[in-house]
Amino acid sequence: MRQTTEKVKQIQERMKASQSRQKSYADQRRRPLEFAVGDHVFLRVTPTTGVGRAIHSRKLKYVYDPSHVLESEDLQVRRDLSVEVQPVSLGDSQTRQRKGKSITLVQVNWDKRMGDSTWELEEEVKKSYPHLFSGES
């Protein structure tokens, strides 16, 4: 038992030393960033749906397009760097059995260009985005 405890302490000490070394390497390469009014910057945000789900973010690959420039008034970025996105349209729907009840799921398209979509409970989507269902008969 004593040997195991000593081994765990050794491992912890080595991990602390390794983390400290990595921090010093990172600090040497870090430089303060300063921006001026009018500078264009990339802000990595996590798009979230109105039903409380984060949309899978992708790696940053970018080809400049002037239509992609957003003014700060157009975007409400939260403290946790998330931003709520609005659905574009509805896709397929399907009914499933859960806990002995039938539930209907709808595919919500969040971004046509990127193909972002999620499956959500129809009743939740109807509550949050009733306008998407206005075309139904």
Nearest in space to 51 (alpha carbons), one of 132, 115, 112: 132
| Confidence check: pLDDT of 137 > 50 | no
pLDDT digits (tens, 9 = 90+) for 78-108: 788 777 777 888 889 999 888 888 999 999 8
| Confidence check: pLDDT of 20 > 70 | yes
User: Per-domain residue ranges for the chain?
Assistant: 1-29, 46-129
User: Cα(60)–Cα(41) distance, rounded to whole angstroms?
Assistant: 13
* Residue position matching structure tokens 């802000």: 43
Q: Work out the burial of residue 107: count CB atoms within 10 Å of its CB; fewer than 13 is exposed, 13-18 middle, 19 or more buried.
A: middle
- pTM equals 0.48
Average pLDDT over residues 102-116: 81
- The β-bridge partners of 105 are 94, 121
pLDDT digits (tens, 9 = 90+) for 43-61: 777 777 766 677 766 666 7
pLDDT at 47 (0 to 100): 72
